[in-house]
Amino acid sequence: MPDYFNLDALLTDEERLVQQTVKEFVDREVIPIIEHHARDGTFPLHLVKPMADLGLFGITLPQEYGCAGLNNVCYGLAMQELERGDSGIRSFASVQSSLVMYPIYTYGSEDHRRKWLPRLASGDAIGCFGLTEPDYGSNPGGMVTNAKKTDGGFLLNGAKMWITNGTLADIAVVWAKLDGVVRGFLVEKGMKGFSAPEMKGKHSLRASVTSELVFQDVELPEENVLPGIEGLKGPLSCLTQARYGISWGVIGSAMACYDSSLNYAQSRIQFDRPIAGFQLTQEKLVYMLTEITKAQFLCWRLAHLKDEGTMLPQQVSLAKRNNCEIALNIARMSREIHGANGILDEYPIMRHSANLESVKTYEGTHEMHTLILGQDITGIQAFT
């Protein structure tokens, strides 16, 4: 894997150990089987417990809840290595950690934490995050899913869409309006009126479960509301956590494409020499290496800001926007280097490329992150 500026020298022993451990797991358990699952449109559910055993769920949360209690460099490196295998594998871990365990830890009651975090950390429970709706993606404040107060609880109605892990989930963190104010609710599998049909027909993230969530007069007890937050700040803070993981993750996809391209270019003979000896091929490889290197240091610095508690959401937007863009560019260049062979699943190129089309869009589109940054640097809001 490329490390052209020796970022490894800036890592602690613990951070190196996390990266190497997850790298070996991906090489051994993910890469040999992922093309089969992508082809069949199935998620390798058997990997959940081994991932949990490595401490990959809620990796930065306290050990008292069964989590690893590691820093954000460790979290980022783990996401990078998982996505080097496949975006769907990293998405599973990101959702479990950033979009389910994080809000339960940050905004839930102590009873919520004790009940759910150890189960989610161990892989005994799977979670999902319900924010996006069929008609409201980039504008989550327009959501129509709503909760009404009843004697002893709430009545939940509405629908969510594009929900990773939804069909598999034992617990859903669902955002809905209560008296016009966005609140977080915990909806448990098996509750009457709650269903989570899987969405089919995807050409991207095929080794990941994507679902709808449907709520038809779902009765929630009083204790299933997250007490620690009101308004959009709650779900948006969760998205910041997820975007952070994505910023690291897509570097892994780019690395996989670069490594495959370099190996292919050095072994593919045309006009009596390897195509790595041609100027246009070298230009592509140099672009890949340069952008991967820049992305690595961008994320490394972002991780330290996050650990210091000074990271800004706009900085995460910059990293997510940049790294998704360059990873997708690298995947496309990689397909060009592989020529016709690049469309075969003997190589990971088309799978990563198709996945990255989704990753560039979810957790905030490229355009929305552009406007978030534009507002921050000009002081003028342009997206309403």
State mean pLDDT over 342-360: 98
Q: With CA atoms as reference, report the closest residue to 108 among 234, 194, 215.
A: 234
Q: What are the tokens at 85?
A: 């295998």
Q: Which residue has the tokens 């500026």?
A: 5
The alpha-carbon radius of gyration of the chain (Å, integer) is 21
- DSSP states of 86-154 as a string? -HHHHHHHHIIIIIIIHHHHHHS-HHHHHHHHHHHHHTSS-EEEE--BTTBSS-GGG---EEEEETTEE
Residue 384 has pLDDT above 80, yes or no: no
Beta bridge partners of 148: 155
Position 383 scores a pLDDT of 81
Domains of the chain: 7-122 (1.10.540.10), 127-224 (2.40.110.10), 233-378 (1.20.140.10)
Query: Which residue type does 374 have?
Result: G
* Contacts by residues 222-225 (CB-CB < 8 Å, ≥ 24 positions apart): 222/152, 222/153, 222/154, 223/109, 223/111, 224/153, 224/154, 224/185, 224/186, 224/187, 224/188, 225/154, 225/178, 225/183, 225/184, 225/185, 225/186
Residue-wise pLDDT for 181-224, tens only, equals 999 999 999 999 999 999 999 999 999 999 999 999 999 999 99
Residue-wise pLDDT for 113-130, tens only, equals 999 999 999 999 999 999
Read off the DSSP letter of residue 327: H
The whole-angstrom separation of Cα 345 and Cα 253 is: 15
Catalytic choice (15, 83, 133, 363): 363
Position 360 scores a pLDDT of 97
User: C-alpha angle with apex 281: 349 to 83, nearest 5 degrees?
Assistant: 25
Q: Looking at the whole model, is its pTM more than 0.85? A: yes
The whole-angstrom separation of Cα 205 and Cα 165 is: 12
Position 12 scores a pLDDT of 98
Query: In this prediction, what percent of the chain has a pLDDT beyond 70?
Result: 100
Position 152 scores a pLDDT of 87
Question: Is 16 exposed, middle or buried, given 0-12, 13-18 or 19+ CB atoms closer than 10 A?
Answer: middle
Asked about 230 being catalytic, the answer comes back as no
> What is the residue-averaged pLDDT of the chain?
97
Residue 61 has pLDDT above 90, yes or no: yes
- How many angstroms from the chain centroid is the CA of residue 313? 16
CA distances to 64, 262, 331 from 318, in Å: 33, 28, 20
Q: What are the tokens at 186?
A: 């915990």
State mean pLDDT over 242-265: 98
- Helix axes 279-308 and 233-267, enclosed angle (nearest 10): 150
The whole-angstrom separation of Cα 328 and Cα 178 is: 39
The confidence band for 233, taking pLDDT boundaries of 50, 70 and 90, is very high
The whole-angstrom separation of Cα 128 and Cα 357 is: 21
Sequence-ordered list of residues with C-beta below 8 angstroms from that of 37, at least 6 positions apart, any chain: 43, 44, 206, 207
Position 120 scores a pLDDT of 98
CA dihedral angle for residue 157, residue 162, residue 163, residue 166, rounded to 10 degrees: 80
